Structure 1
Amino acid sequence: MSTTPNNEKSDKTVPFTTSDDAAKAGLPGSNGTAALGSNTPGVELVNRVAQSAHAAIDKLANQATPAVQHLQKSLEGTGEMLHQRADQLRSTSNEWCQSARTGVREHPLVAVGTAFALGLLIARLAR
């Protein structure tokens, strides 16, 4: 069974390419001699259903397009923001590590004492 292509709009919808196709489909009055585009009840019904389906799909596509475009723009903005935040976190982490290293180099005894005190505290809490 051959219908009009999905991407082409046509005012004239022909559900079957030949009368043989109509006869194979078992439509009433399709004895192989029916002319192409005859107005039998079955052909009219198929044409109406196809036109309704095309109209509904076109309407849905027209409504969905702006929403999809808006969503795409939102996602692009969100991706850029996430990259910026990740860069900020990396730089903050590097600054903290550098600050800790500098503090340990300047005051090694305080660093060892602090580590010892934290170790004792964690050991007491773990019991």
Structure 2
Amino acid sequence: MQEINHTAQPENLDAVFAALADPTRRAILTRLANGEASVNELAEPFQMSQPAVSKHLKVLERAGLVERNVDKQRRPARLKAAPLQAAVQWLEEFSKFWSSSFDQLDDLLEDLKRSER
């Protein structure tokens, strides 16, 4: 079985996964992937108040997944995808593990088939 690479993890990886754990925050990120949006625009599809959406945005900001700019009285939010890349790279290590495990299982099954013949 392949050993998982224990390389140093980005400092905010825990914050990224914590932010992604909530379905509302994932939906907000999906929306922001289409372009920047205000709190009002982000609140539209949800049954929640603007302050509740703002709290979700703060979690996403702390994780480095969203940045907000001041545009007159509007504070549009914008997706910052770089921290997601760190999470994907971390998860890819497990993909390598599972691929290796499945390869070993395939080899075992082939050995069993050969011994039955």
TM-score normalized by the length of structure 1 = 0.37
TM-score normalized by the length of structure 2 = 0.40
Greater helix share, 1 or 2?
1
Q: Specify the structure having the higher radius of gyration (Cα).
A: 1
